Structure 1
Amino acid sequence: MQNSPNKGVFPWLTALLVAAVLLSACLGAIDIHIREIAGAAGKLFYNGSDYTLHERVFLEIRLPRVLFCLFAGAALAVGGVLLQALFRNPIIEPGLIGTSSGAAFGAALYFVAGATFHFHAGVWMLPLAACAGAMLATFMVLGLSGSRENGKTGIVTLLLMGIAVNALFLSGTGFLSYIARDPQARSITFWNLGTLSGANWESVVITAIVVTLCCWRAMACAARLNLLMLGEEEAQLSGVGVKRLKMEVMVINVIMIAVVTAFTGVISFVGLVVPHLLRIWKGADNRYLVAAGALTGAILLTAADIAARLLLRPAELPIGIVTSLAGVPVFIFLLKKKKYYF
Structure 2
Amino acid sequence: MRVNYRLSSKELSGVPGEAAWAESMGYDGISSSETAHDPFLPLAMAATSTSRVILATSVAIAFPRSPMVTAHTSRDLQDLSQGRFRLGLGTQVKGHIERRFSTTWAPPGPRLREYVQSLRHIWDCWATGNKLDYQGKYYQFSLMTPFFNPGPSLYPAPSVFTGAVNAYNCQVAGEVCDGLMLHSLTSAEYVRDVVRPGLDKGAAKSGRARSQTGLTSSGFIITGPNQSSIRAATADVRRRIAFYSSTRTYFPVLEAHGFQEIGAQLHQMSLRGEWAEMGELVSDEMLDAFAVIGEYDEIAGRFLERYGGLLDEINFSPSTEGPIEEVQLRRIIQELREGV
Q: Relative to total residues, which structure has the larger strand share, 1 or 2? A: 2
Which structure features the higher share of helix residues?
A: 1
TM bin, normalised by shorter chain, reads under 0.3
TM-score, normalised with respect to structure 1:
0.26
Greater RCO (Cα-Cα under 8 Å, separation 6 or more):
1
